[in-house]
Amino acid sequence: MLFVHDYALHLSRLLSRLTLAVVVGCGAATLTLAQSSSPQQQPQKPAPPDQTVPDSGGPTGDNGGIALPRKKESDEPPPPAPAEPKIKNPEGAGNYNLRIEVPEVTVDVGVILEKTHQFVPGLKPNNFKVFEDGIEQKISGFKRVEAPITALLLCEFAGNNYTYAFNYDMLNAAYSFAQQLRPQDYVALMTFDMKTHIVTDFTQDKRQVYEAINTLRIPGFNERNLFDALYEAEDRLSRIEGRKYIILLASGRDTFSKITFDQILKKVKNTPDITIYTISTGGALRALTEGRGGFEGQLRDIDYLQADNEMKTFAKLTGGDWYSPRFEAEFPEIFADVNKNIRSKYQLVYHPSNPKQDGTYRKLRVELVDDEGKPLRFQDEKHKPLKYDVIARDGYKAAPEVE
């Protein structure tokens, strides 16, 4: 029995070993078959790529493009800007600012035919010569100017029934001037008798100018303080920058002004950028009554001749023009010429050879010359000579010396 039991135990152990060997052999066979599988066998589905974002910011697998690494924010501050170079002044010297002002003179020149009062176009810089105190100046700037205007209508509105004709001429002239205005123009209306009266301030509305003229019905005084009114007009306009014009509609007589003729001449000469055009009123009445009334009438005629001379002087000194119409139909034509002459100018610029800022008055003279330097001549279609006027300021006042 013992032998049988030992034999059974031995057989059990042998079976256990045999089973282990078979299991191990099957595993090896399985592994061998997996490694040497047939090509026709379908490949296994690849695992999904890793979706985590690396530090470089691109995909982990090889998907084509190369992702550049992200710039890591640096906590270090940027380098400081280079220091400005320090310039040291010489020992004992302070800081100085150097400023040099070169005087510049601008002259507006009109060239008008005497017969037709037409502006002469087409002139060139070498056709002009400018003299200051008799010394020729070098022209550094030249252009043709045609621009909106800034004008003051200064009207004599005074008198009695005898002087109604003067006021009637003034009203017709004012209406004729207003009709020539353009939308960009600035115009004001001021009247004078014993005192000055601002009827309307500067405006671009022609209707306001018409309405202001319509308010002039009955004058208040018989006095005509022309010099005082012109002085005040020059003073007011001098505060406005740019080129200005005064259209003076008056008889030219002065009866009660505090300002003398010499004083108003000095004011007109020393006020820059203001051109005066003068129109004498009452021409028809003066023509009808000239030489009548005995000695008193002769004195009156002399007064009006003197008034004409004063009106002409105001215009000449400032580069304007003087008109003495006798008929109402002349006013539209006169103001058409004034309008054309105001807007059409040759502007000359030069640096004076005398740079002193001493406040002295400098005389100006403008001449026209041809290409050979000889006086310029004009001819009409029939080759007849045409006379012309060169209209420019008589002079200017240099800037005063700085104390």
Whether 21 shows a pLDDT value over 50: the answer reads: no
CB atoms within 10 A of CB 46: 6
Q: Read off the pLDDT of residues 65-98 as tens digits, 9 standing for 90 and up.
A: 445 555 555 566 777 777 766 667 667 666 666 5
Give the model's confidence band at 195: pLDDT under 50 very low, under 70 low, under 90 confident, else very high.
Answer: very high
Q: What is the pLDDT of residue 254?
A: 93
Query: From its phi and psi, is residue 294 left (phi > 0), alpha (psi between -120 and 50) or beta?
Result: left
Q: Read off the pLDDT of residues 223-281 as tens digits, 9 standing for 90 and up.
A: 899 999 999 999 999 988 888 999 999 999 999 899 999 999 999 998 888 999 999 99
Q: Which segments of 260-313 are extended strands (E)?
A: 274-280
Lookup result for tokens 């600012």: 97
DSSP category for residue 182 = -
Q: What is the pLDDT of residue 16?
A: 55
CATH architecture of 147-343: 3-Layer(aba) Sandwich (3.40)
Q: What is the mean pLDDT of residues 155-170?
A: 84
Torsion angle, alpha carbons of 202, 208, 212, 215, to 10? -160
Q: What is the pLDDT of residue 84?
A: 66
CA–CA separation, 353 and 364 (whole Å): 13
Q: What is the mean pLDDT of residues 130-150?
A: 91
How is the chain split into domains, by residue range? 102-146+345-403, 147-343
Could you give the percent of the chain with pLDDT greater than 70?
A: 73
- 303 or 115: which leads in pLDDT: 303
Q: Which of 272, 275, 261 is nearest to 228 (CA)?
A: 261
Q: Read off the pLDDT of residues 141-154 as tens digits, 9 standing for 90 and up.
A: 999 887 789 999 99
Beta bridge partners of 375: 369
Whether 312 shows a pLDDT value over 60: the answer reads: yes
Q: What is the pLDDT of residue 222?
A: 86
Give the model's confidence band at 202: pLDDT under 50 very low, under 70 low, under 90 confident, else very high.
Answer: very high
CA–CA separation, 21 and 181 (whole Å): 127
Q: Read off the pLDDT of residues 367-378 as tens digits, 9 standing for 90 and up.
A: 999 999 999 999
Whether 7 shows a pLDDT value over 80: the answer reads: no
CATH of domain 102-146+345-403: 2.60.40
Q: What is the mean pLDDT of residues 297-319?
A: 88
Q: What is the pLDDT of residue 98?
A: 57
